[in-house]
Structure 1
Amino acid sequence: MATWFLVIIYLAFISLGLPDSLLGSAWPVIWPDIGSSVGSAGIISMIIAGGTIVSSLASGSMIQRFGTGTITLVSCFLTAGALLGFSMAPSMAWFVVMAIPLGLGAGAVDAALNHYVADNYKAHHMNWLHCFWGVGATMGPIIMSASIADHNSWRSGYTAVAVIQFALVVILLVTLPLWKRVAAKRVHVGQNDESHGRLDQDTPAPSRLTPTAKANLFGIRGVKPSLLAFLFYCGVETTVGLWGASYLVGTGNITAEKAALWISLYYGGITIGRLVTGFITLKVSNRWLIRYGQLVTIVGGIILLLPLPISSSLVGIILIGLGLAPIYPGLLHETPARFGRENSARLMGFQMAFAYTGTTTIPPLFGLVTTQFSIGLFPYIVLALLVLMFLSAEIVNRILGKQVLGTG
């Protein structure tokens, strides 16, 4: 039952990724249709990101009160309704209003599902979970492109994705009683295994660090640098995705089409890397995978920085994507083991909030820097962010010690 139930969770994460890439892929035809401007997409994006931060911060208390299944169901309903609203939007104001429930729903379901998988499943499932987000993010532009090509309408693309989301809402509604049953069964099995000294390497041991829930999460040892690692991770992931093509075109004298292809390979590296990492976690602990991934990203950043032929930039970008693959899901899965199951629900929300803060603030700040100076600063800033992420994660390892972090 738990295995089939995991398929539902994977489907939910595909649906989480679907809307993330829709706005950017459809905006060139949306803004003239609704009488807006090309730069207005930034306003919508920031409102969505703001909603995700708010719901992420509140997700911990909501999960404890209503349960993961209910939060996921309501959140998916919000996102489905928002996407359907986008499909009927007559103006920019309508997009702004619909962006609010889309952000709130996305942030809540993201934090809820990450917490549930980290608390109830092994590390490889967390990597595959985020791999399926990549599948959804890849499918979004494909659906929108087909809609525009076949129906000459971006609205039918949003309608199609909304229908997919509503189908998931029905599935979640039918399976709602299973959430508590699966979690209860896995906790019972985990307790029995621990009592016989056979606690699985990748199963977070309850209360290993913190025997009781902490009112002040920031007072828990290692939490602050861990939150910074999330901020720098999402900041650098989004910065490379958003500005990488501009850097390649501006400094490498390659066409925009080739630059877009290279950036798609970057996202492909993240998605495929997470698929492969899921299998590697069966033999290698999260702690080492996170460390190896960070070192690979730094190597990729150094290659970008060196005065090599432009073709080497593709190697550097792909290495950054492959290196990033295990870091985010690995850090998420470590949350219960590092900071206690009692704190993981609320802390997962804080981690999501810091991650979205990195996504929301660092790429625009980079844009301001390049406006004042040059897009040529791209490899320097990317490498600096990668090093800061590495140092933040290593500080957590040093604070918590090898005895705890050697597990799962």
Structure 2
Amino acid sequence: MYSILLTIIYLAFISLGLPDSLVGAGWPVMHQDLGVPQSFAGILTMIIAIGTIFSSLASERLTRRFGAGAVTAVSVGLTATALFGFSFSGSFWMLCLWAIPYGLGAGAVDAALNNYVALHYAARHMNWLHSFWGVGASISPLIMSHALTSGMGWPGAYNVVAVIQIILTVALVLTLPLWRKVNTMTPRSHSRTEVEADPEDIKAPATEAAHVPLTQVLKIPGVMLVLAAFFAYCALENTSILWATTYLAGDRGVHPATAAAFASFFLLGITGGRFLAGFFADRIGDRNLIRGGFMMVGIGGLMLLLPLETNGVALAGLAIAGLGSAPIYPAIIHSTPANFGRHNSHAIIGIQMAAAYLGSTLMPPLFGVLSSWVGLWLFPLFVLLLAAMGMIFSERLNRLVDAK
């Protein structure tokens, strides 16, 4: 039963990843069709991120009241509705309007599902789970590239992804009784045939605890450090997703459709890296995954920075940066119960999601403003700076936890 539920969670994370890279992949064409500056992409992602911050902070209360299954189904349905709205939007202000349900649909489900897996499943499952997010996020630029070259235009890409989201919403609604049934059971009540995964894959269920107020959570030693590290990583990831295509097209002269396909290598690196990390995550440990990941992102950023005429090295740099990014997010989430206690994990993960989306809110538009003043060549330096920040804050957290 638990393994069946895990499969459903995997599908839910595909749905989370599908819309995340659409704006960045299509923006070189979208901003021209809508008659707005390219830096306006930051405004759109800011609205989306504000919605996710709000719903992430409300995630603990929503999940306690309605259950993870219902929160997931409603959230995916909201996202599907927003994507259809995007496809019919003929002006920038309409995109901004539909960005509101888009953002609200992402935050609560993200925190609820991440906390569930962090508490109940081994590190390998957390990496594979986020690999499925990468599957969705990697497919989207390819859908956008096909839509642009086939004559469908960018609205066609949003329609395709919206249909996929609706199908996933229906599947989630049909499985709501399963979520409720599993919530009433413990791993010891399952037979070997009912749980396909090894018993070690499923951690002991967390005891029911009272709601932890935000002010209390922020006073826990180390919480601000993990929030800063998560802020830096998610700012890095989302800035790359949003601006990699524009950087390749605007600074390196790559055709927009080709640049959209090239940018998918960053997401393919994340997807493939998380799949591979799942096989050795339990042996290497969360700390080493985070440390090695930030170092590899730095190598990829340096490859992007090299002033070479060929685009091959830059393309390889995007892929390497994606591989380095792969284990960072799931490792930070998975280490939360160990670093701060199981009874605090849901509240802290909810705030981590908020910090993640705050990074997504502030840093991509900041890069848009800076690039309009300085130039798109700043992109690799921006990535390197964020990677260095993430490494510093995560290492400080490690020393604090060890000192306890």
Shorter-normalised TM range: 0.7 to 0.9
Aligned to 1:95: 95
Secondary structure class of the residue paired with 1:100 = helix
1:395 — aligned with what?
A: 396
Task: Output the CA distance in 2 between the equivalents of 1:318 and 1:332.
Answer: 23
Q: Does 1:354 align with 2:355?
A: yes
**Alignment match, 1:330:** 331
In the alignment, what sits opposite 2:127? 127
The 3 A distance-change label for structure 1 pair 388 and 365 is: same
Q: What TM-score results when the alignment is normalised by the length of structure 1?
A: 0.83
Asked if 1:44 is matched to 2:47, the reply is no
TM-score (norm 2): 0.83
The more displaced of 13-22 and 78-87 is 78-87
8 Å Cα contact 2:225/2:394 also seen in 1: yes
Deviations 1:319-358 (A, max 9, x none): 3221111010111111222222222222212111111111
5 Å-filtered alignment, 1:8-407, equals 8-27=8-27, 36-37=35-36, 39=38, 40-89=40-89, 91-147=91-147, 152=152, 154-186=154-186, 200=200, 203=203, 214-215=212-213, 216-244=216-244, 255-256=254-255, 262-303=262-303, 312-401=313-402
Q: In structure 2, what is the Cα distance between the partners aligned to 1:131 and 1:163?
A: 22
Contact 1:60-1:348 at 8 Å conserved across structures: no
Q: What's the RMSD between the two structures over aligned residues?
A: 3.4
Seq. identity, %: 47
| Residue aligned with 1:220, SS | coil
Q: Which residue in the other structure is 1:196 paired with?
A: none
Q: Evaluate the alpha carbon distance shift between residue 44 and residue 203 of structure 1 in structure 2; reply closer, same or farther with a 3 A threshold.
A: same
Asked whether the equivalents of residues 18 and 137 of structure 2 are also in contact (C-alpha less than 8 Å), the reply is: yes
Deviations 1:9-29 (A, max 9, x none): 111111111122333444566
Secondary structure at 1:20 match in 2: coil
Q: Distance in 2 between matches of 1:78 and 1:250?
A: 33
Between 212-221 and 53-62, the greater mean CA deviation after superposition: 212-221
Distance in 1 separating the partners of 2:145 and 2:344: 43
Q: Are the aligned partners of 2:115 and 2:346 in contact in 1 as well (CA < 8 Å)?
A: yes
C-alpha deviation, 1:313, in angstroms? 4.2
Shift of 1:5: 2.0
CA contact (8 A) 2:229 2:390 kept: yes
Question: How many residues are matched?
Answer: 391
Distance 1:368 1:93 in 2: 19
Unaligned runs of 5+ in 2: 191-198
Deviations 1:236-291 (A, max 9, x none): 2233344445656777x564567655533222211110111111224322222222
> 2 CA distance for matches of 1:41 and 1:371?
12
In 2, Cα distance between equivalents of 1:92 and 1:295: 38
Aligned mates of 2:345, 2:394 — CA distance in 1:
18
Cα distance, 1:103 vs. partner?
A: 0.7
SS in structure 2 of the partner of residue 288 of structure 1:
helix
Letter in 2 for 1:102: Y
Mapped partners of 2:374, 2:86: distance in 1: 37
Gapped regions of structure 1 (runs ≥ 5):
191-198, 404-408
